[in-house]
Amino acid sequence: MRRILLFCIPALLFTASCSDLDDYNIDPKNPVTVPGQTLVSNAQRNLVRTITNTNSNQNPFRFYVQHWAGTTYADESQYDINTRAINQSVWNSLYRDVLRDLQEGETIINANKLLAEDVKKNQLAITEVMQVYAWSVLVNTFGDIPYTEALDYTNVQPKYDDDAAIYADLITRLDAAIAMFDESADSFGEADLIYEGDVPSWVKFANSLKLRMALTIADVDPAKAQTMAVQATPKVFKSNADNADVQFLSSTPNTNPLWEDLVQSGRQDFRAANTFVDALNPLNDPRRDEFFKPLEGGIFKGAIYGSVNPSAGFSAPGKMLEDPTLPGILMSYSEVEFLLAEAVERGFAVGGTAMAHYNAGVTASILEWGGTTAEATAYLAQPAVNYATATGDWKRKIGFQKWIALYNQPVEGWKEWRRLDAPNLVKPTDARTDIPLRLTYPVVEQNLNKASYTAAAAALGGDLVTSKIFWDKQ
């Protein structure tokens, strides 16, 4: 398993004569310049924390896909976005803490004349892949966003760009990054918190991301989606060992944020949602005892989704999620196999059969959660799970199993539920809105960037949670 490095800004090394008294005025704890690789490390850490955490102020998506229910507070499962400014937290995390660091890191790397050219190209390619990933999450979350004029601190009122146009540009950027990689050369080494500088692994991640983006646009541009999927498939993930993740440590401040919310906080805010548990129980899903803690008698019981629930009497998130060293996942092999199954169903020439890829996706997920191949085989043999006999069309079959497999990838799980429209989730009685199809724009944007905000809202058909992202056409 890969390990995460303790994040810190290394003290800069200064070389000067001992008679140079100016040296004594240098504060080594507050360097005036930062190595580009340090900014990339920080961005990776912040991105993974944003994508995987369970903080209700920033990542409510476990509620939106009805994996979890609340106890003391039902705000998130009733789709209250504004009281605690969830949209602002997501916006700031990705723009300020991820993309701005990646942009500055790229600038510093580009200017470094001491780097070997092949190493520099690999570092820039990795930085670009991370930027494409973060930008795609922003588009998938909000729709039209500031892009071409973003990240410029001198422009406090950037225009919003069309979401489809941004996606098209991101695909071009991703292709360019893939072409830059030199698998025989080094990159960031241990400063890379995801693959420790292993360039072939980054090539697989970049192509897997390309496959994800291809299927994301498949309903609106099937020809382009097919071209992308066919190009990417030979170099996508081949096993769980390829997963793009960050291995956290057992001590703060580098623990998995789930541990911080589930254990360190001492709070009892989260329970399994009855929607999810009631789907897992009839299938005797082997992942249940990792997803959640059983009650007395070994039963799993979900709290009522969308309501205020007592903490007692309902299954809490599982022990595995309470491990401070649990990796935070950006993309998994299981997800890739489900994408390939969908690609086959759409007639894309990616090889294999839909059933074979579906089976591989389910198996990879069960193994990822500590299960066995025998458990996966038995699970897949059930008529309700078997691809040949499960209920519904391919979207229903793949979407349902993907909903389960993306349990600890809540941001992507929410996107895939919106895209595949499976399973059929129903808003709770006390919901303030329909299940969100996007987050509304932050109030700060409405107040300080009003003209751009107004134009963006109009282009979406209104700044509403029911306004659809460009790829959401079903």
pLDDT tens digits, residue range 275-316?
999 999 999 999 999 999 999 999 999 999 999 999 999 999
pLDDT of residue 11: 33
5 pLDDT higher than 50: no
Query: How far is residue 15's CA from residue 310's CA, in Å, rounded to a whole number?
Result: 62
Give the residue-averaged pLDDT of 200-205.
98
- DSSP SS3 for 329: strand
pLDDT of residue 57: 83
pLDDT tens digits, residue range 413-446?
999 999 999 999 999 999 999 999 999 999 999 9
pTM: 0.93
pLDDT of residue 27: 53
pLDDT of residue 344: 98
145 pLDDT higher than 70: yes
- DSSP SS3 for 193: coil
Query: How far is residue 403's CA from residue 287's CA, in Å, rounded to a whole number?
Result: 13
pLDDT of residue 116: 98
Query: How far is residue 348's CA from residue 355's CA, in Å, rounded to a whole number?
Result: 15
Strand 160-161 versus strand 270-272 pairing type: unpaired
Identify residue 162 by its one-letter amino acid code.
Answer: D
Select the more confidently predicted residue: 239 or 15.
239
Q: Sign of dihedral through CA atoms 127, 216, 256, 190?
A: negative
Query: Per mean pLDDT, which of 5-14, 26-35, 441-450 is the most reliable?
Result: 441-450
**φ, ψ dihedrals at 167, nearest 5°:** -60, -40
Where in the chain are the domains?
35-254+325-426+437-460
- Please report where in the chains the tokens 């007692």 appear, as a residue: 312
Burial of 295 (0-12, 13-18, 19+ CB in 10 A): middle
Q: CATH second-level architecture of 35-254+325-426+437-460?
A: Alpha Horseshoe (1.25)
- DSSP SS3 for 246: strand
pLDDT tens digits, residue range 80-136?
999 989 999 999 999 999 999 999 999 999 999 999 999 999 999 999 999 999 999
Query: How far is residue 63's CA from residue 136's CA, in Å, rounded to a whole number?
Result: 21
- DSSP SS3 for 23: helix
Closest CA to 208 of 222, 194, 220: 194
pLDDT tens digits, residue range 128-137?
999 999 999 9
Q: Are 9 and 30 in contact (CB under 8 A)?
A: no
What per-residue string of b and e applies to 408-442 under the rule 16 or more CB within 10 Å gives b? bbbbbbbbbbbbbebbebebbeebeeebbbbbbbb
The tokens describing 45, both together, are 């850490």
Cβ neighbours for 46, distance < 8 A, ≥ 6 positions apart: 93, 97, 98, 101
| Omega of the bond leading into 253 within 30 degrees of 0 (cis) | yes
Q: List own/partner pairs for 441-449 with CB under 8 A and 24 or more apart.
A: 441/87, 441/91, 441/142, 442/85, 442/87, 442/88, 442/91, 443/82, 443/85, 443/88, 444/88, 445/91, 448/156, 448/157, 449/146, 449/156, 449/157, 449/158
What percent of the chain is helix, strand and coil (3-state, nearest 5)? 50, 5, 45
